[in-house]
Amino acid sequence: MAKFIVDGNRRLQGEVDLQGAKNSALPIISATLLCSGESVIHCCPIISDINASIQILRYLGCSAKLSDHTLIVDSKDMNRCDIPENLMNEMRSSIVFLGAIIARKGKAKLYFPGGCELGPRPIDLHLSALRKMGVIIDERYGLITCRVKDKLHGAKIALPFPSVGATENIILSAVLAKGTTIISNAAREPEIVDLCDYLVKCGAEIYGAGESTIYIYGVDNLTPTVHTIIPDRIVASTLMAASAVTGGELILNGIISSHLDGVIPLFEEAGCNIKVRNSKLKIDSPNRLKPFKSVRTMPYPGFPTDAQAVMMSVATVAKGTTVFVENIFESRYRHVEDLTRLGANIKVANKVAVVEGVDRLFGAKVVAKELRGAAALVVASLKAEGRTEIEGIKYLERGYEDLEVVLSSLGANIRKV
């Protein structure tokens, strides 16, 4: 089993290009099922979650080839409507295939998804929305069987929480449905906008993406197209965190600065100097950081839950106290135990974590338990004195492409063994 070996306490400096967004690529890959023909997706990250999605496409009868960050999918020969349990278990985002399969085939059979354990992430919002659109659903023993009597139809759907996954599944189901679908309290994330941009290029009629109410007018068919995935804002936050903890200087190429509005003010609060020009971001960090005071995860455009763990690593070496409040997932402090092994001073009570910054971190053997927690351990290890061994990097590779190579190019002493 692979692990990272990190000899820390080295200042990072340099320039890197940002990878494509995992959370944008996955629903767009699912959306290619709605277009009977060849779709071309550029800037597709080469990560294990993408590989799992490609396996699902091929199982469904599609051809899919990923080369040099370009994914070519031809779905004209799609001949299945089920996904076996072993493929569903590869990632939690696999549920996003549900809406696309139903829209294309009028039926679907799949299992509850796997992936990182972040506490309850129920899919009842997905299923209740699909029922309103005419889907008959049977759930038993972890198997979800869906069918449509005639054709999917539009509906007014008010989400009790702006769930990204539920919003995506509703959109994927509605674009080919009969009539109009209105989603109230929809997720507003940039990845939702990117999915809708792709579908509109294919001929879908969608209005309001990025706003709290989305209108979808069903069309008869969609045409394959060429699309470029947006940059990954969570990877950007991670690299900024790596620069910050080491007192480094980093230039990120290919960013969309508005997507980082929830995190840039925190880095500035910590004493980092940030300059943005066109699609470049430069972060210049002080030798000792100030605390963030308070970090509350919220749906977009608030501070993203996916960046909470790496920002906590930054807070561990700030001069003062930072309070984190996790409002999205119940089990998103699983990285805390291993950060304390590195010398961090963190106390957790329910959804609140209080981080008292320390002067130094020290290398140790740690084990990642989920994707963003793995990134947090990497960030902290870059600051730690001595050697850190990080196991469980399979989680990291679900969302980060060759992170050890990127960090090495910036001056880190990190290798995969």
124 annotated to a ligand binding site? yes
Residue 22 among known ligand-binding residues:
yes
- Residue 35 annotated as catalytic: no
169 labelled ligand-binding: no
Residues 47 and 40: their CA atoms lie apart, in Å, by: 18
Enter the DSSP assignment of 344: -
Q: Pairing state of beta strands 3-7 and 387-391? A: antiparallel
Q: What are the b/e assignments for 385-398, b being 16+ CB within 10 Å? A: eeebebbbbebbbb
Residue 292 burial class via C-beta count within 10 angstroms: exposed 0-12, middle 13-18, buried 19 and up: buried
Within 10 angstroms of residue 410's Cβ, the number of other Cβ atoms is: 22
Best CA proximity match to 286, nearest among 247, 240, 245? 247
Question: Binding residue per annotation — 23?
Answer: yes
Q: What is the DSSP letter of 47?
A: S
> What is the rounded distance in angstroms from the CA atom of residue 274 to the CA atom of residue 241?
12
Q: Is 125 annotated as a binding residue?
A: yes
Q: Angle formed by the axes of helices 97-105 and 124-132, to 10°?
A: 20
Segment holding 372, helix H or strand E: helix 371-383
332 is in an annotated binding site: no
123: annotated binding-site residue? yes
Residue type, 338: D
407 marked among binding-site residues: no
Structure tokens given for 6? 């990190």
Torsion angle (degrees, nearest 10) of CA 210, 174, 88, 81:
-160
| Active-site residue, selected from the candidate residues 35, 116, 146, 272 | 116
Round to whole Å and give the CA distance between 220 and 209. 21
Residues comprising the binding site for UDP-N-acetyl-alpha-D-glucosamine? 92, 121-125, 306, 328
Binding residues for phosphoenolpyruvate: 22-23
Q: Which residues are annotated as a binding site?
A: 22-23, 92, 121-125, 306, 328
- Active-site positions read 116
